[in-house]
Structure 1
Amino acid sequence: MILSILLVIPLLSFSNHIYGVFQIDIYQNLKLILQVLIIVFTMAIAIQSYLVFTHLLSNQTLYIGNLFFVIALLELVNLVFSQHHLTGWSFMDEPLHILTRLYVSFGFLFIILYPRKRLALKFRWLTYGSSLLFTIISIFLAYLAANTITEQGIAGIDTVVHLLSIIFQVITIVIVGKYFKKVPKRSMWLISAAASLIVSDIFFMISQDKNTICDFSALIYQFLAFYFFLKAIYYTTVEKPFQQLLKIKKDLEQSQQELRFQAYHDDITLLPNEHLLLKTLKDHLQINSLQKAAIAIEIDRFAAIRSSIGISNSNKMMKLVAERIQAIVPPHYFATKLREEQFVIYVKEVKNIEELLQFCLNLKSMMKDPVQVQLFPLNGNLNIGIALYEGKWTGEELLMHAQLAMQEARQIPQRLLFYKPYMSKGIADRILLEQDLHKALENHEFHLVYQPQVNLKTGSIESVEALVRWHHPMRGFVSPELFIPIAEESGLIIPLGEWILETACKQAKIWEQEGLPPFKVAVNLSLGQLFQQDLVEMVEAILVRTKLQPEFLQLEITESMTMNIDQMTQLLHELKALGIQIAVDDFGTGYSSLSYLKDFPIDCLKIDRTFVRNVPLNPNDEALVSMIISMAKHLRLKVVAEGIEEVEQLAFLSDGGCDYIQGYLFSKPISPKEISETFSDLHDHVRVILTRLRHTDDFTI
């Protein structure tokens, strides 16, 4: 546009020299070519607007098409009348030129000012038909003007029309310029067209003769103006929609890729999900005869952790574990994440069993360092199951067998198992039991029994341990060893643990009201409860509701829970501040550092029954028990020995300085009613046994 406007300077400055290069006939032929091109461009705009109106249905598109349809017809008539063999009609040239210029400038300004709206398709035929009629009327008006107005009058009108055209084009430039930032490309073409028409009007105004360079230059700029108009219409109706279509296509392809990624990947870890895993297994299992395998992995007791720290923090933990797995997965291993919060790794080629075992050991080693989730340094052991592919299995069966092996691995210390056919037999029963467990608490199927703990020095029962029992309406008695792990995995241990704690505290208060001497009630805490954010508040609220004095409540944690020393230290100190007592259950069976004994506010150690069972038959167990008792004495901790069933075991522990005894030798776990009714008999039974051992020293806690 700038170059075309700058061209005005040499045309005005050297007009005579430039015009003298060619003969008059050559200029006449060039003018004829320009006129033909102008007709072609204006008709192209009219036809293009006619065609795209079907899709756009815009009034502006339709009116622009009609405007340039009229201009094209008038220019065509003017071209015909101006030819030499029709000189008798050459008088129509100026009136038609005046109308054409007036229609272009005023018509386009009117169109951009007129509000945009949608029109029905029928308006296309109506308006184009009206434009044809309007053209005929315009030719008739030009004929009347040519025959009624003098040449000087027509020349004056021509000057006024060109001045009006310049004013209209300036207004057009100002209006279009407001939309330059919004639609820069279209605005640029329209402003260029308007500017070219202004230059063309100037040349027409200063032209004294049609056979001068100014008149020829005016046609050039008129041609440029219509070219710019065509570019603007083409950009608006063809190029821009096509670019938008390409963008939509690109966005659609990107959306399809994102949807495909979402369909085949886990939202949290971004690992491939079970859909992609099953598809991969279906496509690859039968390809070759190489040994293949599936490794199923879960974070031990993750359901309990999730119910304790919340969904957001548990998702972060899962993502961090996924990152650790990805960091050590070999290239021919395919790591995935299932909806059940499990990881499955498909091994496309098993070179040897040792390779699988070493990889699984690496998985377990990577979890030695706690997973830091905000303020929670979380320790998580992994349960791992491995299934080696057999040719008759489907992909789903391979996956299911790996998961079965993983579930069985929960029950063993190594937490790692290969799939065996026997594992498939009990899975259905386990699933049914988990479903029944969800209803058991609501249906009041649980009850507590209590096992007395005897002070060896005084011979009195000073505490009892609360143990939960489940009487299933169809199965009868269900062992805690069976349903407690299921409760922990499913997260039901949280409401169940709260019920156990409140029931035990209520019962202790009931015994006190019945006149029994006050004694402690010991309640086990699960790992899931320790991760409860409101555990301390919950314990305090239960003590308030049951009106039990805190010193008569003892909470027991297992040694394996003490791995996260920093978090556990703060939690136990908060519980200890309530006035309750803390005991470590199953001492000696865990794998923690003993440094927690000096950091935790512990009152008591409970020696696991596995050490007591072979005393005094096994010298190694005797040495371990003696060492635990000695260490506890030096740390000023009380010691409780569990699982005492024989007098010989009692004698060894008594001689070793054990403080409390718990086991079938004195009493099995019994109901609260039996405690109330047989409390004196229980003491008599205890005294009979202790008298045989001649324990007469006085001791009080």
Structure 2
Amino acid sequence: MYGGLVLEKRSYHQKIEKIEVWYIALPLLLLIPFIVYGNQLYGVYKEESYIYLNLIMQILIVVFTMAIAIHSWLVFSHLFASRTLYIGSLFFVIALLEMSNIVIFSANALQTSYINVWLHLVMRLCLAIGVLFIILKPKKQLTMHYRVYTYGFSFLFVMFTLLMLSSPPMSIQPFIEDGDWVIIALDKVHLIAAILQGVTIYILSKHYKKTPKRVMWLMSAALYLIISDIFFVIGKDPNEIWNFLALIYQFYAYYLILKAIYYTSVEKPYQQLLKIKQDLEHSQQELRFQAYHDDITQLPNERLLLKTLKEDLHADKAQKAVIAIEIDRLATISASIGISYSNKMMKLVSERIQAILPPHYFATKLREGQFVVYIDDVQTQEELLQFCFNLKNAMKKPLQVELFSLNGNLNIGIALHETSYSGEELLMHAQLAMREASQIPQRFLFYKPFMSSGMADRIIMEQELHKALAHQEFYLEYQPQVNLKTGNIESLEALVRWHHPTRGFVPPDMFIPIAEESGLIIPLGKWILETACCQAKAWEAQGLPQMKVAVNLSLGQLFQQDLVQMVKGILQQTKLEPHYLQLEITESMTMNIDQMTQLLHELKALGIQIAVDDFGTGYSSLSYLKDFPIDCLKIDRAFVRNIQHNPNDEALVSMIISMAKHLRLKVVAEGIEEVAQLAFLMDGGCDYIQGYLFSKPIAAEQLTETFQELHSHAEEILGQFKYVEEYMI
């Protein structure tokens, strides 16, 4: 529709330009019949008829010249332009002289006198010289009092001319009253005027590109004045057709000059004003769009959403609902891949949401990277659930952002409107449900009132987490991993702990998810890695056997662009040999195989070891086992806990150990608390065990002090099975 309107405007302007060309060309075409059939046309009227026709044309000329003078007088008070003032004063002279010419002609009983001829001569010279002077004189700004001075001078010039012609001094009286000489001079004046008009056309043509429309009118006027001069020369008798044609073309030239002045002082400023108005309206529309839409996705923003909710929420009795949507671990991903890639990811997500959005659903994008869908007429709750299922299906395919292949797992919260809720409250309820949905496998929930109380504590804890790292409230504990073949403690897993100044000990499963959501997991993960490597070197300096330290990597750290350089830098800083560091990833992190393969190979090139933690609990394909440079699999405690009571767990553990042996991978079993569990694992060929049966996680100082006791305790337990062999990893 907008494109059609633009084309319509363009065609309109083209039509106007064609009309203007016809305005110029049509009088030129009329020259042909006048030249060819001049004598026949002259005979149409009697000779005395041309006297009155000439008088009418002179009166019209007075009207147009005076119109130019008055228009310039009025416009000067706004433009203060020198050319506008000079043109007005020039045509004021011509208007006064032309009026004087008519008065004298009428007073002589419609007979031409020598004064009429001299007035005509003066007018032609003033016009030709004056226009050329105005064009050549540089433009400048004048003050208001110049208007009175200039027009006053013009009036005095006319009065002086009339005085000199009506009562010439004795010295020049014969010269002025010599009729034959005046006729000869008049032809010369017309020739000079025509030449000067030609010079005017040449000068104007150089400025055509700057102001084509105005120059076109002025050049056309100069052309018609030349034609008028030619007809004046041809027509010896003032009362014949050639003199009449000269007046017609002179009149038309003044009309074109008036049109040029009108265009410059009225039409063009009006068009500029109209364009400014249109630009202003367009700018206002753009500003309004920017104020109510998101810059990245172009979706309506939070401001427009709240405005819509305020106006529409209580408008009728239809059931309303708000669905809040966020990308899981968005803060961590953004902190890892950078803001530009994060923005591209948000744009891809918005496109997928819009692709499945029903017509009456209103999708918006909030500042914190959340999407919100408002439905103003919900028929059934099943309708909302179906939309959530469709949305999850749409996000199954990874988001390809440059070199990153990202999983767009969504957390979705649904809040149904009740009479007492405001728009802000309804939105907050949907966001609370969305936060809670991140803790369950389905990843979408309807809002329940109990969610409000738990979220407040979660927000407070998020703020406290930011202070905890700076205040050194975190510390590490280490849980030994025992080699079942040698009975030695050869490695330890570093586990982060938080001692809050007022809350006391905060469980990791409570603060780690919040740290991942807030992006704090990046600096926290770096601190854990530095502290664990430093401690490994410290134990070596204290005379303990060199032991490998295992550190968990978060999903956010895997997207960290400088992860490899960071690990390399920490190893160089702490001077820890790379093979004494083991980085652990979870199975759920292995879904982006292409990206992970390259990253893990770069880490492996440093000389470190890589383990897959919580093996068997994820949903990824096992094909990554042949592609990733993995050294170790860690069996999750969920399989080990009931191994002696659940045949399925027993079968799964046996299968994992067997598969690892065929792939030449070491196996670590976590959560060993009972001797029966240990016996099964030893019979199955497990390599390492970790659990409370040997030791709970303990502080670094305590491990240093009790290392021999821990070692003896491990040998004592394993000695019961008489299964200790020399074996090296």
TM range (shorter): over 0.9
Task: Determine the structure 2 residue equivalent to 1:35.
Answer: 58
Task: Determine the structure 1 residue equivalent to 2:11.
Answer: none
Does structure 1 retain, via aligned residues, the 8 Å contact 2:47–2:240? no
Name the CA distance, whole Å, in 2 between partners of 1:198 and 1:399.
79
Name the CA distance, whole Å, in 2 between partners of 1:7 and 1:459.
119
SS of the aligned residue for 2:569 comes to: helix
Structure 2 residue runs of 5 or longer lacking an equivalent are 1-23
Task: Determine the structure 1 residue equivalent to 2:14.
Answer: none
Alignment equivalent of 2:216, drawn from 182, 188, 199: 188
The one-letter code matched in structure 2 to 1:359 is F
Task: Determine the structure 1 residue equivalent to 2:12.
Answer: none
Q: Does 1:112 align with 2:140?
A: no
Does structure 2 retain, via aligned residues, the 8 Å contact 1:5–1:199? no
Deviations 1:440-461 (Å, cap 9, x if unpaired)?
2223222222111111221111
Alignment equivalent of 2:570, drawn from 539, 542, 545: 542
Name the CA distance, whole Å, in 2 between partners of 1:216 and 1:329.
77
The one-letter code matched in structure 2 to 1:96 is L
The one-letter code matched in structure 2 to 1:588 is G
Moved more, 166-175 or 144-153: 144-153
Deviations 1:51-90 (Å, cap 9, x if unpaired)?
2223222222222122212211111111111115566993
SS of the aligned residue for 1:108 comes to: helix
Does structure 1 retain, via aligned residues, the 8 Å contact 2:51–2:110? no
Structure 1 residue runs of 5 or longer lacking an equivalent are none
Name the CA distance, whole Å, in 1 between partners of 2:422 and 2:80.
57
Structure 1 position 9, deviation (Å): 4.2
SS of the aligned residue for 2:470 comes to: coil
Name the CA distance, whole Å, in 2 between partners of 1:142 and 1:576.
111
CA RMSD of aligned residues (A): 1.8
Does structure 2 retain, via aligned residues, the 8 Å contact 1:304–1:493? yes
Change (3 A) 1:510 1:82: same
Task: Determine the structure 2 residue equivalent to 1:138.
Answer: 161
Name the CA distance, whole Å, in 2 between partners of 1:134 and 1:678.
121
Does structure 2 retain, via aligned residues, the 8 Å contact 1:512–1:518? yes
Q: How many residues align?
A: 701
Alignment equivalent of 1:368, drawn from 381, 389, 396: 396
Name the CA distance, whole Å, in 1 between partners of 2:36 and 2:660.
113
The one-letter code matched in structure 1 to 2:43 is G
TM-score scaled to structure 1, two decimals? 0.97
The one-letter code matched in structure 2 to 1:684 is S
Structure 1 position 316, deviation (Å): 0.9
Name the CA distance, whole Å, in 1 between partners of 2:105 and 2:111.
9
Name the CA distance, whole Å, in 2 between partners of 1:617 and 1:126.
116
SS of the aligned residue for 1:645 comes to: coil
Task: Determine the structure 2 residue equivalent to 1:291.
Answer: 319
Does structure 1 retain, via aligned residues, the 8 Å contact 2:588–2:620? yes
Name the CA distance, whole Å, in 2 between partners of 1:634 and 1:181.
84
Task: Determine the structure 1 residue equivalent to 2:144.
Answer: 121
Q: Does 1:614 align with 2:629?
A: no
Alignment equivalent of 2:703, drawn from 675, 684, 693: 675
Structure 1 position 14, deviation (Å): 3.1
Does structure 1 retain, via aligned residues, the 8 Å contact 2:415–2:426? yes
Task: Determine the structure 2 residue equivalent to 1:83.
Answer: 106
SS of the aligned residue for 1:118 comes to: coil
Task: Determine the structure 2 residue equivalent to 1:254.
Answer: 282
Task: Determine the structure 2 residue equivalent to 1:410.
Answer: 438
Deviations 1:362-400 (Å, cap 9, x if unpaired)?
111111111111122211211111111111101111111
Does structure 2 retain, via aligned residues, the 8 Å contact 1:91–1:146? no
Deviations 1:289-322 (Å, cap 9, x if unpaired)?
2211111111111111112221111111110111
Name the CA distance, whole Å, in 1 between partners of 2:110 and 2:392.
103
Task: Determine the structure 1 residue equivalent to 2:185.
Answer: 157
Deviations 1:114-152 (Å, cap 9, x if unpaired)?
222222333333332333223222323443377642223
Name the CA distance, whole Å, in 1 between partners of 2:676 and 2:377.
57
Name the CA distance, whole Å, in 1 between partners of 2:377 and 2:688.
57
Name the CA distance, whole Å, in 2 between partners of 1:440 and 1:98.
100
Name the CA distance, whole Å, in 2 between partners of 1:161 and 1:428.
98
Name the CA distance, whole Å, in 2 between partners of 1:618 and 1:363.
37
Task: Determine the structure 2 residue equivalent to 1:564.
Answer: 592
Q: Does 1:62 align with 2:90?
A: no
Does structure 1 retain, via aligned residues, the 8 Å contact 2:325–2:371? yes
Q: Does 1:280 align with 2:347?
A: no
Task: Determine the structure 2 residue equivalent to 1:527.
Answer: 555
The one-letter code matched in structure 1 to 2:152 is G
Moved more, 154-163 or 659-668: 154-163
Name the CA distance, whole Å, in 2 between partners of 1:428 and 1:108.
83
Change (3 A) 1:69 1:18: same
Task: Determine the structure 2 residue equivalent to 1:52.
Answer: 75
Structure 1 position 4, deviation (Å): 2.3
Change (3 A) 1:121 1:436: farther
Structure 1 position 493, deviation (Å): 1.6
Change (3 A) 1:438 1:140: farther
Task: Determine the structure 2 residue equivalent to 1:379.
Answer: 407
Does structure 2 retain, via aligned residues, the 8 Å contact 1:95–1:146? no
Structure 1 position 21, deviation (Å): 1.0
The one-letter code matched in structure 2 to 1:414 is Q
Task: Determine the structure 1 residue equivalent to 2:528.
Answer: 500
Alignment equivalent of 2:507, drawn from 470, 479, 482: 479
Structure 1 position 242, deviation (Å): 1.6
SS of the aligned residue for 1:448 comes to: strand
SS of the aligned residue for 1:112 comes to: helix
Q: Equivalent pairs: percent with the same residue?
A: 68
Change (3 A) 1:652 1:171: same
SS of the aligned residue for 2:68 comes to: helix
Change (3 A) 1:85 1:142: closer
Name the CA distance, whole Å, in 2 between partners of 1:680 and 1:115.
103
Name the CA distance, whole Å, in 2 between partners of 1:351 and 1:153.
104
Q: Does 1:202 align with 2:230?
A: yes
Task: Determine the structure 1 residue equivalent to 2:205.
Answer: 177
Structure 1 position 325, deviation (Å): 0.6
Name the CA distance, whole Å, in 2 between partners of 1:434 and 1:147.
111
Change (3 A) 1:362 1:215: same
Alignment equivalent of 2:490, drawn from 449, 462, 469: 462
The one-letter code matched in structure 2 to 1:68 is F
SS of the aligned residue for 1:449 comes to: strand
The one-letter code matched in structure 2 to 1:298 is E
Task: Determine the structure 2 residue equivalent to 1:99.
Answer: 122
Change (3 A) 1:142 1:672: farther
Alignment equivalent of 1:4, drawn from 14, 27, 34: 27
Does structure 1 retain, via aligned residues, the 8 Å contact 2:336–2:557? yes
Structure 1 position 612, deviation (Å): 1.9
Does structure 2 retain, via aligned residues, the 8 Å contact 1:409–1:417? yes
